[in-house]
Amino acid sequence: MITDYSDIIERVLIDEDSLHKKIKQLAQTINTYYADKGTLILVGILKGSVMFMSELAKELKVDLMMDFMIVSSYAENTYSSGNVKILKDLDIDIKDKEVLIVEDIIDTGYTLKKTKENLINRQANDVKIVTLLDKPERREVEIKSDWSGFKIPNEFVVGFGLDYNQMYRNLPYIGVVKRSVYENIEDAK
């Protein structure tokens, strides 16, 4: 059982307490915005948004439904390919509904831009975006989240739902991955 991740994690970027405080703040803002708008549909982008979405949903005081999509612009590496694919679609009809996309991180923007366009084309009443993390230095397309928790530097991060090769999602904080960890893997491919 591994409990010490010092061989992988360079440093903790955002600690657990800061994450929970920020999520409560985001929820207060979202509660105010959606107070009189009817049922809200949270659309979590799997797999990274699961921890953020579950914590956020617990703090929301509006009627809501939850659904998930798997949307990917990443191949088997740490870099966005720009080619966005829907691998799992919604089960809920969103026509004429208030929709809030819940995403772990906005990086290049490809995934969120295409996802938002897709949901708008389904005639949702309104489509907004909330992201836990925003990495503006990496943006390659024009897209902004309506609400964002933390702006972070251009570093590879894991934890609180974010992964590296499907690992480290369970970390209760956001940690910066040592460059040597993923560069060695990328060089081997």
Look up the pTM and report it.
Answer: 0.90
pLDDT at 189 over 50: no
Q: Is the pLDDT of residue 115 over 70?
A: yes
Instruction: Check if the beta carbon of residue 84 is closer than 8 Å to that of residue 72.
Output: yes
107 classed as catalytic: yes
Q: Which residue has the higher pLDDT, 76 or 140?
A: 140
pLDDT of residue 82: 63
pLDDT confidence of residue 188? 36
**Annotated active-site residue in 36, 89, 107, 134:** 107
Q: Which CATH class is domain 21-74+86-152?
A: alpha beta
Locate the domains of the chain by residue range. Answer: 21-74+86-152
